[in-house]
Structure 1
Amino acid sequence: MRLMPSSPGLLHTIISIAALHQAYRELEVTQTSIETHRLSIMQRDATVNLHLMTSSDHLPPAATHDSLTHKQLALKSIRKELLYLEYSNLEGTIASILLLVWQDLMDSGTNSWKCHLDALKGLVPVGLAPIGLCTKAEDSSSRTIYNNFETTYAAFHILGNTFVQSKELYHPLFSTMPITQIMDLSDGQSWAGCPAQLLSIISLLNNASINISPSSDFMDTIFSAFQEFSPMKWAIANNNSSFMKPRYHLASAYKGAVAIYMTQVMHGYRETDAIQLSHIDSIDFLILHLISINFEDDHFKSLVWPSFVIGAEAREESQRKSITRIFEGLWRRWRCENVRNALKVLQYLWNLHDQMQFSDRWQWINELH
């Protein structure tokens, strides 16, 4: 909040996101009202507007006018600050760029969000991104802000690179701390919900997939870290006992999803074959972890990545229906176009698998490139 008064770009970005969220909400209310006469009270309570969830139609221009107007003003403000090197309020500029990633995920759900991360990385060579500030800044509030910047950037970069063909190595932008320490910070500060140890493993897997022939020692490191992670220990590490159950289910779902991701990107390695045989729980069991997190629980919002990965392995109709309901709930919480796109991709993968009759070891990740 303290950044907003001196950062017009940040203010416009926040308003743009809020306006888009409200536009989606109003559209759903309108469509639900139209269909009310065809649904009983019980059906309405149990039914999500799946048409809105999967429709290829976008919001009408009038509904997005405010969002697009403020997005344009935000971009102009950021451009002015960078063009004239007005980086006395650099914190607000960085926050604006990171929030624009959210705006694009909500608005289009395409890879355009990556352009904002690339712009952020472009600040480093010209000396605008203050690398190391979060460890050197004397002001504790500044350290907190830059720690938040780093963990948010790390989550966007690492998870965002999982389903692209040309993966990029993660390098800290705002910190000189070891990556493991940055990952540890993400446990308490990141919106993604992915446990730090698993996020670090995903980063290592992204790095390994870039290397044509990763060493056996490197693979052993990944495999050992995966084995050592305990969802229960991670869950009870939080001081709030009321969070233990959802955190356990969240960590268990993420661990299962990481195991699946490992077999996809490192297919054919001895270590991943062992994981496939002994560490991937049944899809039904993993889905049970997903649906055990209440829709109203804040941890539910962190299920996008593991739900997609686990959903890609769903073969039974009952499993696919459960995954679809999860994404319907995520849509209602996030109002994010990226969630709709994820479900569309899953439906494409399911249809493709059924048509081609692929084996259980089908490398579905290749269909995403």
Structure 2
Amino acid sequence: MNQRNIEPCWTCRNRRIQCDQTCTPCKKCQKAGLECFDKRPFRWVKGVAIRGNMRGRSFQNNTESSSEDNDNMISVSARVKPATNSESEFHSHLHFNDNERICKLFIVYDSDRNPFRSLIPLGLKDPVLLKSLLALAARHHVNTGRSFHYANLPTEPGLINANRDALSFKHQSIEALSRSVQHDQLRNQDTTVASIFLLIFLDLIESGGDGWNFHLEGVKKLITSLYSQSELQAGVNYGPGETVQEIRGFITNQIHLIETLGATFLRPKLLSQFSSFGQQELQLQETVEKSFLGCPEYILTAIQCLSVQRDSISSSASLDLATVASHIRETEYLMQFVQNFDCYAWASNLQRSRNPSAQEVSNLCILSQSYKLGTLLYGRRILDALIKEESVQDELISELLGLIDSLKDDPDLFKCILWPVFVAGLECKWQAQRDFLIGCLERFWTLTSCLNAVNAAKILRDHWQEKDSESSNNPKTQWIFDIGKLGRDWLWI
């Protein structure tokens, strides 16, 4: 850490707390998970000025653009003008501030191999991708520093204005994408695929239950169409340190992960099947430096198969005995498949650009174990639905809670375990366990500023209240089915 001047940082002054003035970043900003600024950071506004007669005005409105401009999606400087009239200053702000936060958020370990570090500079050349990036960064900026318990109430004047700006960027992004997907040439660009992909992450930051599955279905269709074209050239250089093929591989793998974990709590058969160009080869090349969550592909395969089983038995009353017996055998096989997974071997053999420390390997092992145990709990409840029983899983739950607790001091990995935390929450019976998990969700919020953590806490509290009110005479609810009937389609990642 660097020693700094005696002046308190701008972030602490803005929060109206006393800065410790010891180093950069200061300890209070570090603890709160905030960016520590010495001076007031730049602020995005819609238009060319923050105040006065020019506030809200742009150099060129979308409706005034010529047909040629529409074909070229209009230049960045004409459509998204920063508060300062210096594009280089704007690009610098995007790169050094919000770029850093977003890059670190949606990857296990940030490094120069992080694919987001190639996507973001591309946005400076592509106006559609830029709008999605701005919408993502602006919403994250609004969430940063807000209280977990009052995260949905941006009542401070500064937050109200920032929230309005974030909504404006989102509106612009969706409008630009709508034009792109209707344009034959623009629809078949990798930047259009990447723009839709980023809107899934925007939904995680906004709520986790507003539209990610619609974006997912749209991007899957574009990927299937685009990546299967025979004229595609895999090795063309497409940005700093990345190729077209590498960026496609990253997006494809993350779509596979989102689809797999998202399907576990959706209404049965809501998502279409996804099989993209080169997916099988890409999945064999696991590397932690290009992974969103670090969930082993082996475990993801089992989760995907278990979700299929769940969907198949969602109307089990209509299944004959032979079909039920077949589902039981398949589910038991999948459970054994998961049980056989060697977490330590996986963590030790991951591809890396550097030699990991023993602690890093140990924590990655714990991360994979948390997904393993969460998957076993999920599979057990599917099996229970088939055999009409409710197994006692107290030991497995206690073990999973211990794994979650052991990762609380590793911010890189703790931000990756929302799915296991949510599964554990659905199983917890005791108040101490529940309080612990709410604390974990608050910790997740502090690290990520993603509102799906706040909503996960609300859903779990409602679930616990319903479970506690069940009498012995009433049938027990089966969360593997009921959690997908909440009126919104939640994504817990």
Structures share fold, TM-score greater than 0.5: yes
Q: CA deviation at 1:105?
A: 1.9
Q: Distance in 2 between matches of 1:293 and 1:133?
A: 45
Give the helix-richer structure, 1 or 2.
1
1:94–1:344 CA distance, 2 compared to 1 (3 A): same
1:11 to 119, 130, 139: 130
CA contact 1:312–1:364 (8 Å) conserved in 2: yes
Greater shift in the superposed pair: 208-217 or 221-230? 208-217
Provide structure 1 residue ranges, at least 5 long, that are not aligned to the other structure: 29-48
Aligned counterpart, 2:228: 131
Q: CA deviation at 1:215?
A: 4.9
Q: CA deviation at 1:80?
A: 2.1
CA contact 2:411–2:447 (8 Å) conserved in 1: no
Aligned counterpart, 2:257: 155
Aligned counterpart, 1:324: 438
Q: CA deviation at 1:304?
A: 0.5
1:119 aligns with 2:231: no
Q: What's the secondary structure of 1:267's corresponding residue?
A: helix
Letter in 2 for 1:229: F
Q: Distance in 2 between matches of 1:265 and 1:133?
A: 42
Q: Distance in 1 between matches of 2:480 and 2:447?
A: 26
1:134–1:265 CA distance, 2 compared to 1 (3 A): farther
Quick check: which has more Rg, 1 or 2? 2
1:265 aligns with 2:382: yes
Q: CA deviation at 1:10?
A: 1.5
CA contact 1:253–1:289 (8 Å) conserved in 2: yes
Q: Distance in 1 between matches of 2:181 and 2:257?
A: 25
1:124–1:250 CA distance, 2 compared to 1 (3 A): closer
Q: Distance in 2 between matches of 1:154 and 1:190?
A: 12
1:171 to 270, 274, 278: 274
Q: Distance in 2 between matches of 1:219 and 1:74?
A: 42
Q: CA deviation at 1:337?
A: 1.5
1:363 aligns with 2:478: yes
Q: CA deviation at 1:67?
A: 1.2
2:343 to 221, 231, 236: 231
Aligned counterpart, 2:168: 69
Provide structure 2 residue ranges, at least 5 long, that are not aligned to the other structure: 1-117, 237-241, 314-322, 486-493
Q: Distance in 1 between matches of 2:220 and 2:300?
A: 20
Q: What's the secondary structure of 2:293's corresponding residue?
A: coil
Q: Deviations over 1:40-80 (max 9, x none)?
A: xxxxxxxxx45225xx5466642312211221222222222
Q: Deviations over 1:144-181 (max 9, x none)?
A: 111101111111111111101223354223x2443xx5
1:252 aligns with 2:353: no
1:253–1:104 CA distance, 2 compared to 1 (3 A): same
Aligned counterpart, 1:144: 246
How many residues get paired?
338
Aligned counterpart, 1:203: 304
Q: Deviations over 1:233-262 (max 9, x none)?
A: 222224513411211221121111101111
1:292 aligns with 2:406: yes
Letter in 2 for 1:144: E
TM-score, L = length of structure 1: 0.81
Aligned counterpart, 1:36: none
1:182–1:222 CA distance, 2 compared to 1 (3 A): farther
Q: Distance in 1 between matches of 2:304 and 2:262?
A: 10
Letter in 1 for 2:478: Q
Letter in 1 for 2:466: L
Letter in 2 for 1:82: V
